Amino acid sequence: MENNEETTKASIKFIQTLNFEDEILDLYRKIREKLKQEQYTEDELESVGNFSKELMGLRYEIGKKISNMISTVKKYGLDDKPISEYLENKFKQINKEIPLD
């Protein structure tokens, strides 16, 4: 049986090979850019209920991509938990690249 580090590497390599990572990160960048364009702050993101149609569409699209990725990862018997942590760290990097405050 593989150890956690090997499992994590295999799961991440899998999403990179199938371009899930690029597609999701590109969508996340678009969301951050649109939020910045619409002059949202980080604090507002926790309580905003009325996003523009474009932002809602992007949010729906990224949710669908992430759900599809997780489903595919599980279908191949890989662990999706390290992928969630990996993407969260990537999202944090993008947040630094495209700050809202």
In the block, tokens 């590109």 appear at: 26
The reported pLDDT for the residue numbered 48 is 66
Q: How many domains does the chain have?
A: 1
CA 4 to CA 7: how far, in whole Å? Answer: 5
Q: Which helix (H) or strand (E) holds 48?
A: none
By residue range, what is the domain housing residue 89? 4-97
- pLDDT beyond 60 at 53: yes
Band of residue 81 on the pLDDT scale cut at 50, 70, 90:
confident
Residue 62 banded pLDDT, cuts 50, 70, 90: very high
Return all residues near 75 (Cβ < 8 A) that are at least 6 apart. Answer: none
Q: What's the burial of 30, exposed, middle or buried (CB within 10 Å: 0-12/13-18/19+)? A: middle
Q: What is the mean pLDDT of the chain?
A: 89
The pLDDT confidence band at residue 12, using thresholds 50, 70 and 90, is confident
Could you report the per-residue pLDDT of 25-41, keeping only the tens digit for each?
A: 999 999 999 999 999 88
The pLDDT, as a whole number, for residue 1 is 39
